[in-house]
Structure formats: structure tokens, C-alpha cells
Chain A
């Protein structure tokens, strides 16, 4: 088969249909990744305009440019947009685009999930921006502390926009987290052992793992706050046994890891680009992997450092203070590994390197002020002043925006296939770099002079006037810099000359393909024996295009890629990925309908959309699989492997494991909330407890035991009955629970019961699905993936349901 014929065959399988239909139905990772990047940049521009308005307001004392109502929306939206609609989606887009290419795969593990994430992000972000244009944007600060964000003090829908819009966008973050984790673990090139993975993949593995455990607390906190606002369940209201501190714990339990979730992918880009620019290899691969793992864990141990002034006992502050200092060490390890790499190589000041130098300077300064703030006595002084604003911009812009700009210039030729024109990028760099330092270095000083955050005007004669003016000038310089960057990119797309392959002489697999890349990435899949495949064989890309690798044959219209054993990289099975589909956009629209109904206060209509979502989910899963055994298929090189229809541990199984891990984290956060309110919140004990009952726990435990045993024996009707028993027990429990709006005890109890109901109900639906699929002929002794996946969900639903039923009746027994 000629290379051209192979290209045509593969394009027919992997490409999009023409026109809008193709756009709406595409699940291709390159498409989705590019869309994320473009949309994130648009949101960055919107957030940037808000920042300019803020700086215009603060440029002079006693400014009357906007009033406090508008100003409060400005800074709330600036923070929220930059965090949730720019930083996270930007790295998700870069990752979705690059990761399969770097790992030697043709797509991510769950293509339709990437597409669902994209539409959720687009719809959620649009809701938030439209709300801002309508003048009802959130205005309680980007961390939305209740009671200020609660119904009493924010009666409009401002806070609801934040809670519902951001939660909608979080769905896309959770999709991405699961997708990235499973793709790195399973979909790699043959022979790519763990220690041969590109360092970028390690960073992303750490990041995605953190997202799996970091986002659920925020999602839970948002759900609870929205339920409090909509239905009056007093989770955060102290007069009814709630506590505003619970929100702070849940928010920062997400919020601090979030900083590293943003930083790690950017650091991964640095670790990838820097050695290429220095024409050498990265120093200390193992040490960097260890540093990434350490960061991923340690960053969960310091959330309270955002709450140093809330009156938490000094010993607990000591734990968090020590952990905050510890977390600087893995960062230092990376910084010095990078410096050592530069010393080892012969660095060239190409454009990406220039941005990396900017990253070094800004980020190191931000890190050092961070260590200062980690010290309790100093933090007590500087907390909530412009010093903190300066610090966080040094860390986030230094640690994310500068590396992303370097990454943009490094990988743009890959996306456009063209060279850049003129030296606009250098000019943009100097504008951004000088403008940034002018803005935020001055804010260190105004902060130390006592200027608080979030004030819309300030009097003269405080010594802040000149510094603020300089900050504003710097801010506008930056804006010009970013505009110039955008112009540069557009010029490159229109006017750049076509570029040869691998312009930087890089050694990672994403350059072993023609640029711009094809829809299927590799015409045949590489086998790697070292960490730098292109250094061993610079002509690897040509060989792969000629079909000299694995899975070179286009057959049955299947989208095939290789799944490997996660440690050794030995080929395990052929993953057959789903093709273009309406389901992602339809599901996102259905979810969007749910969120819009909640926002509009039409609570009776909202469940209709949830039912619709379940129906679409059923259809989604139904399109997988085959009705006949396929057996082993040849993959080239004389080897044969089973397909994902008949493999024991498919990507779907692994995806379920991580989805359940995320759900379990949400459950653990809810349990923490229950215990926290019980011990810390005022106005406890509650007026009435759930009455002691034997029927509820016994029914639930019996149902759980039946489901657990039967799911292993393959007796699906009994599994279904077991879950229905749990559902019945929990509904019975809810009927005896005091009204959830009377006290936080009743509210948290009802929330726990709702969690159990959700998972037992979901397991029941999935059992029904597996029964229907078996009847329709999708299962056989070989094709047994779906019952295996059901076992995970059934066990989780049964365990959680029984545990909750027992836990909630216990206080009544002991009272």
C-alpha cells in the first residue's frame, strides 16, 4: 500500500464530515484541543479587558470611573474568568492536542468525553459572560465567601451564575482529568515504559491525578451553597447550625491544589522546551518525577494557609505553615534541575527561550514572596493587601502565562505548519515583561504600605497615588504586548512560509509526523526503546508514514490505537475508539438546560433535563461494543492482539476507577462537612435527631450484601433488587429526617442520604443496562467488559448506601 493510499484510507476513518455537521459532531482530539486553546484565549482577552477597567479605576485617587457595585463585579469576574475559563481550559487544550502525539497514540482514551467537555465549557462560559453583559455577574469575590454570597446579602442571581456556571465548566475539567489519566496510563507507544515516558506526560499525570481529587470538594461546596440559596438548607448559616468556615475549607481544599494544577502543566512545558533550546537532555529525570509526585501530594496539605486569620488554633496553623514551606522544596528541585540543564547544554536565545527566561525571573520572585507569606506572623500583616495580589500574579503569570507563551511559540509551527514572520514576538515579550513587572512590583509596595485588596477608590495622601498610577501604566503596556502576540500569531497563519518537519530538532514523538498534523497523527504507530525516539532515529516520522510501524492497516472503518501494559509498555490490546457523534453536544445541551432551569428558579422543570441526560447516557453506552466475537487481530510485525471488545481491563474500566475515586472524594468531603459542623459550628446540638431505626440499616445492609455477592455470580436480577432495597431504605430514612431547612444537621444528613440514593440508583440503572445488553447479544464469555465495569459501580453504590444508612441512624441510637 502506498503512503498516499494509506493517508486517504485513514483520513476517511478519522476525519470529520464536511461543513457544520462535521464541526458539531467532531470528537478528534486535535480539533477539540485547538478549540479549547482558542476559546481560552478569548476568555483571557475578556478577563484582560476587565483587568484594564480595574486598573483604569485605580489609576488615580477618588476615581469616579465606575461605582462599587460595578467594581465588585469587575474583580470577581476577572479572578473567576482567569482561573476557571482561561488557565484550566488553556492547559486542557494544549494537553488534548499534544498528549496523544507525544505518547505515540492516535487519540485520547475517551474521544466523546473530550467533546462533551468542550461543549460544557463553551456553554458554561457563555452563560457566565452573558450574565456579566446583563449586569448580574457574581460580585462576592472570586472565592464567593458566604454569608456575603448567600441569599440574604446577595438576593439577585449573581451568586447563582457563579455556582451553576462554574460547576457546569467543572464537568469539563473532570472529564479532562479522567481522560488524561487513563490516556497516559494506557494509550502509549509500544515499548514506552513508565521511565521512557516524555517528562510532560509525568507532569500531566500528576496534574490530572490532582484534579481527580481536588475538584470534588469545590463541586460539593458549590452544590451545597446553591442548595442553600435555592431551598434554604442551612449548610453555611450559623444561626441554624451551619458555618461559613465550612465553605472556606471546601473552597481552599480545592483552591490551593488548583494553583499547582495550573503550575504543573506549565512546568511540564518548561521541562520539555528548555532542554531542546539548550541542545541537551533534561538533567535529573528521576528527580523531577519525584518532585512532581511530591508536589501533587504536598499541595493538598496547605489549604488552611488561606485561612490563617480565621482564628484556627495555632498548632493547626503550624502544620499548614510547615507544609507550605515544604512544598517549596520540590519547586526548588525543579528550578535547579533546569538551571543545571542550561549549564550542561549550549542554550540559544530563540524566542521560546526568551519567554522561559522571563518565566525564571518572574516565577522565582513570586516563589520567594510566597515563602514570606507562608510565615504566620508576616501573613497576618500582609493578608488581604495588594501584596498578596502582587504575589499571586507573580506566581500565576510567571508560573503559567510565560511558560504558555513559550509553549505557544514552540508548538505553533506544529499547529500551523508555518514559520513565524519578522520579530514581532520579541517586541511582544519586552512589552509584556516590562509591563508586568511595572504593574505588580509596585503592588508589593502599595501592599506593604497597607493598601487593602478590593477597594474601588482610595484617598489621596496615603502614599499610594504614584505607585498606583505606575501600576496602571504597566497594565496597559502588558495589554499592548498581548495584542502584539495575537497579531504575531495571525501573521504566522496567513503569511508564514511552510516549515520543514521538526524545526527545533526535538526528540519527542509529536515531531515524528508531518506538520500541520493529520487527523490520525501516525499512519502507523511507533515502537520506542528509549526516552528520546527522534534522537535515535531522526527519520522515524518518514518510516511511520510509509507504514513501517504497528497498526498500519485501515480496516472495518475502526479507529484503532494501541493500549499497553501501564508499567512495561508491552502492547496489551487494540483499543477501538468511537467515531463522530451527536451525543456529546446533545448531552451538553441537556445539562445546559438543567443549569438554566436552576438559574431561572424553575426547580420543577430541572429534573426533566436530568432524566434526559440519563437517557442520553444510556444511548451513549449502547453504541459501544459488538454483537459477535472478534478474536485476535494482527497488529503488524507478526503479532496479534485482542481488541478492546474482548480485553479484560479496558480504558472504560480504568475510567470508571478514576470517576469513582472522584466521587469517593466528594463523599469524603461531605463526611468532613458533617463532622466539621458537628464539632465546630455554633447552635448545636440540633433540636431533633433522626429517630433510631433498625429497619433502615438492616434493609440497606441486606441489599448491599445481596448486590455484592450477586454481582460476582453474574445474577443480575438480584443485583438490581439489592440496589432497589438500598434506595427504599434511604427513602424511608429521608421520610423520618427532620426538615432539612430547619437545621444544618438535618441538611447534611439529607445531603448524605441523597448521595447514597444517587449511587444506588445509578447502580440500579446500570444493572438494568447490562441486563438489556446481555439480552441483545452484546455479551459473551469473551466480551465481558461491561459486567466487569458494573461490578465497580455496584460495589461503590452498595458500600456507600449501606454505610450512610448506618451512619445516619447512629446519633439517634446514642442520644
Chain B
């Protein structure tokens, strides 16, 4: 996705800049008399048709990718409730295991996070695993994340939430199957 957009952007920017430079180069060739440019070519073709094609393709692609990340019902998913506040993250895992600023999830299985806030607006973000989801007081949002490999990941608050915003961070621990069992067993 990213590389497609970057490449496409580079090509388009290059096109505009080359046309701009050539406009100045042409001046030097010193042809006399009035010249007219074709409105059909410049405006209809380059201005209208080209971006329509490019953008429609891009929107269609992005929507399809977006649908894939939606939390569709999945029997394998685990659900963790996340509550944000100034300036901590409280998690409630399956089996009622509570932690603060550390989120435990099984690797290779979808985890659905049910996110809300008890004071101001925060935003839950694990840069390496998924996009953001805002934590809004009075509303709950669902975010699905999947960690393919076990390990620790850094998470942070991505919506400005006050004086302690920059240190409003948390860690994510993705367990392998055995580790996850041990974690959930630990509850009893």
C-alpha cells in the first residue's frame, strides 16, 4: 500500500515538475506569434481524466484493505477491555486479569480491544501492529489487532490529552501459545 502510493506520488510530482520546467525551456526556443494551448488536452486530459482514474483505483483499493481490518466475529478472538485515563491505561483481560500500562495478547490470534476513556479523549496506538483508535469518554470503540510473532511492542497515546501526554505510553506483550496459557492460568 505504502510503496504503491509513494511510487505513484513520485511519478505524478515528477510529471508536474517536468512540465513546469519545460514551460520555461520552451520560451527560449523563441517562436514568434501567439500560441494557444489545447484546453482539451491540458484540462480535460491531464487535469480531469488522469486524476479520476488514479483516485478511483486508490479509493477502491483502500476501502477493500480497510474492510479486511474490521473486527468481524471470530471464535478465536480474545477480548480485552482498555480504559484510558490521565495518564495511564487500565486493561481487563479474559478471566478478569487486570493490569496497568501492560497489554497481554496471544500471538497469531486476533485480539479485539474494547476501548473507552474515563476522562478526556485519548487515542490507543501500537505503531507496529495496527492503526489508531480513539478512546472517547461515553463511547466505546472496537479495534482488532493481530501480532504475528511473539514479543514486546511499544504503544502510545496518539491524541493530545494534556500535560502528561508524552509519557502516556504502554507496552504490549504478545505471548506464544504456552506463554498465553500460563498468563491466563495465572489468574486462578
Binary CB contact string for chain A from 349 to 390 against chain B (1 if under 8 A, 0 otherwise) = 100000001001100110011011011111111011100000
Measured CB to CB, the nearest residue on chain A to B132 is A309
Bound complex: CA of A287 vs CA of B27, how far in Å? Answer: 25
Q: Which A residues are CB-close (under 8 A) to B56?
A: 325
Inter-chain residue pair count (beta carbon < 8 A): 222
Please state if B137 and A344 are interface contacts (CB–CB under 8 Å): no
Q: What distance in Å separates the Cβ of A236 from its nearest Cβ neighbour in chain B?
A: 9
Whether the pair A377, B47 counts as a contact (CB closer than 8 A) is no
Q: Which residues on the B side are within 8 Å of A681 (C-beta)?
A: 138
Interface of A is mostly: helix
Cβ-closest chain B residue relative to A322: B59
A347 and B24 in contact, given A239-B138, A309-B133, A452-B158 (Cβ under 8 angstroms): yes
Alpha-carbon distance A348/B26, docked complex (angstroms):
11
Partner of B156, one of A344, A377, A452: A452
Q: Mark A424-456, 1 if CB is under 8 A from B, else 0.
A: 000000000000000000000000001011111
CA distance A368 to B138 in the complex (A): 36
Given contacts A148-B120, A310-B141, A340-B37, contact A332 B24 (CB under 8 A): no
Q: Name the residue of chain A whose CB is nearest to the CB of B28.
A: A346
Q: A283-B43, A309-B123, A378-B5 are in contact. Are A245 and B158 (CB under 8 A)?
A: no
A384 touches B159 (CB 8 A): yes
Which B residues are CB-close (under 8 A) to A238?
137-139
B17 adjacent to A332 (CB under 8 Å) = no
Q: 0/1 per residue, A310-352, Cβ < 8 Å to B?
A: 1100100110011001101100111111011111111111000
Q: Distance in Å from the Cβ of B141 to the closest Cβ of chain A?
A: 3
Segment touching A, from B66-74, B76-84, B173-181: B66-74
Given contacts A375-B59, A376-B66, contact A68 B37 (CB under 8 A): no
Interchain CB contact under 8 A, B51 and A68: no
Q: Is the CB of A287 within 8 A of B39?
A: yes
Interface residue ranges of B26-85 to A (CB < 8 Å): 26-27, 34-39, 41-43, 46-48, 50-52, 55-56, 58-59, 62-63, 65-67, 69-70
Q: When chains A and B are docked, how far (Å) is the Cα of A329 from the Cα of B45? A: 12
Q: What residues of chain A lie closer than 8 Å to B162, measured between beta carbons?
A: 72, 148, 153
CB distance from A398 to the nearest CB of B (A): 12
Give the CA-CA distance A574 to B133 in the complex, in Å: 59
Closest to B38 in A: A340
Q: How far is the CA of A594 from the CA of B22 in the complex (A)?
A: 58
A368 touches B139 (CB 8 A): no
Find out whether the CB atom of B20 lies under 8 angstroms from the CB atom of A342: yes
Measured CB to CB, the closest approach of chain A to B26, in angstroms, equals 7
Q: A284 to B43, Cβ gap below 8 A?
A: yes
Chain A: CB-nearest residue to B54? A371
Q: Which residues of B contact A332 (CB under 8 A)?
A: 46-48, 50-51
A344 / chain B contacts, CB cutoff of 8 Å: 35-37
Partner of B132, one of A140, A346, A383: A383
Given A148-B161, A329-B48, A340-B37: A377 and B66 within 8 A (CB)? Answer: yes
Contacts of A329 in B (CB 8 A): 48, 51-52, 55
Q: Which residues of chain B are near A284, meaning CB under 8 Å?
A: 39, 42-43
Contact A311 B136 (CB under 8 A): yes
Residues on B with beta carbons closer than 8 Å to the beta carbon of A340: 37-39, 41-43
Residues of A within 8 A of B17 (CB): 360-361, 364
Chain A proximity mask over B70-105: 1 for CB below 8 Å, otherwise 0: 100000000000000010000000000000000000
Is A147 an interface position by the 8 A CB rule?
Answer: yes
Give every chain A residue within 8 A of B163 (Cβ-Cβ): 68-69, 72
- A244, CB-defined interface residue at 8 Å: yes
Q: Which residues of B contact A317 (CB under 8 A)?
A: 66
Distance in angstroms from B93 CB to nearest chain A CB is 21
Q: Which residue of A lies closest to B5 (CB)?
A: A372
Give 1 or 0 for each of A702-723: 1 = CB within 8 Å of chain B CB. 0000000000000000000000
Which chain B residues in 97-141 approach chain A with CB under 8 Å? Answer: 119-121, 123, 125, 127, 130-134, 136-141
For residue B63, give the distance in angstroms from its CB to the closest CB of chain A. 6
Cα(A341)–Cα(B26), bound, Å: 13
CA distance A302 to B139 in the complex (A): 22
Q: How far is the CA of A317 from the CA of B67 in the complex (A)?
A: 11
Size of interface on A: residues with Cβ below 8 Å to B: 82
**Distance of A560 Cα from B84 Cα, bound (Å):** 64
Residue among A152, A242, A310 making CB contact with B134, cutoff 8 Å: A310
When the two chains form their complex, are residues B127 and A371 in contact, meaning their CB atoms are under 8 A apart?
A: no
A609 at the interface (CB under 8 A from B): no
Distance between Cα atoms of A672 and B43 in the complex (Å): 38
* Residue from B37, B62, B139 in contact with A377 in the complex, judged by beta carbons closer than 8 Å: B62
Q: Is the CB of B165 within 8 A of A343?
A: no
How far apart are A755's CB and chain B's nearest CB, in angstroms?
25
| A683 in contact (CB, < 8 A) | yes
A144 nearest CB across to chain B (Å): 10
| A243-254 Cβ-contact flags toward B at 8 Å (1 or 0) | 111000000000
Cβ–Cβ contact A141 & B139, under 8 A:
no
A337 touches B121 (CB 8 A): no
The proximity string for A residues 643-684 relative to B, scoring 1 for CB distances below 8 Å and 0 otherwise, is 000000000000000000000000000000000000011110
B39 CB contact (under 8 Å) in A147, A283, A334, A357: A283
Q: Is the CB of A325 within 8 A of B55?
A: yes
B149: Cβ under 8 A from any A Cβ: no
A314 to B37, Cβ gap below 8 A? no
Is the C-beta of A458 less than 8 angstroms from some C-beta in chain B? yes
Cα distance, A349 to B164, chains bound together (Å) = 50
CB-CB nearest in chain A for B22: A343
Q: How far is the CA of A322 from the CA of B164 in the complex (A)?
A: 36
Q: Kindly state the separation between the CA atoms of A141 and B161 in the bound complex, as whole angstroms.
A: 9
Contact among A328, A375, A385, A457 for B62, CB-based, below 8 A: A375
| Contact call B13/A365, Cβ cutoff below 8 A | yes
Chain A residue, CB-CB nearest to B141:
A311
**A769 in contact (CB, < 8 A):** no
**Which among B36, B132, B138, B164 is the interface contact of A380 at CB below 8 angstroms?**
B132
Q: How many angstroms from the CA of A704 to the CA of B158 in the assembled complex?
A: 51
Report if A145 contacts B (CB, 8 A): yes
Contacts of A239 in B (CB 8 A): 137-138
- State which of B23, B47, B120, B127 has its C-beta within 8 Å of the C-beta of A147: B120
Contact A360 B20 (CB under 8 A): yes
Q: Which residue of A lies closest to B163 (CB)?
A: A68
CB contacts (< 8 Å) of A147 on chain B: these are: 119-121, 137
Whether A383 contacts B47 by the Cβ 8 Å rule is no
In the complex, what distance in Å separates the CA atom of A799 from the CA atom of B26?
62
Closest to B157 in A: A452
CA distance in complex: A342, B35 (Å): 11
CA distance A328 to B50 in the complex (A): 11
- B46 near A380 with CB under 8 A, answer no
| Contact, CB under 8 Å: B23 / A368 | no
**By the criterion CB–CB under 8 Å, are B37 and A682 in contact?**
no
Set of chain B residues within 8 Å of A335, measured between Cβ atoms: 16, 47
B63 surroundings in chain A (CB, below 8 A): 318, 321, 376
Cβ-defined partner of A349 (8 Å) among B24, B35, B66, B132:
B24
| B19 surroundings in chain A (CB, below 8 A) | 339, 343
Known: A309-B132, A343-B23, A360-B20. A333 touches B123 (CB 8 A): no
A337 contacts B47, C-beta separation under 8 Å: yes
B130 vs chain A, min Cβ distance (A): 7
Q: Which of B12, B50, B65, B138 has the most CB atoms of chain A within a 10 A radius of its CB? A: B138
Residue on B with the closest CB to A307?
A: B134
List the A side residues contacting B125 at CB < 8 Å. 384
The reply to whether B42 and A283 contact each other, CB–CB distance below 8 Å, is yes
Closest 3 CB pairs of A and B: A380-B131, A238-B138, A340-B42
5 additional contacts (CB under 8 A) given A344-B36, A380-B132: A147-B121, A342-B24, A343-B19, A371-B58, A384-B158
Contacts A/B (CB < 8 Å), 29 sampled: A147-B137, A148-B162, A153-B86, A153-B119, A283-B37, A283-B42, A309-B133, A309-B134, A309-B158, A310-B141, A317-B66, A318-B66, A332-B47, A343-B22, A344-B36, A344-B37, A346-B27, A360-B16, A364-B12, A368-B9, A369-B9, A380-B131, A381-B131, A383-B123, A383-B131, A384-B132, A454-B160, A682-B138, A683-B138
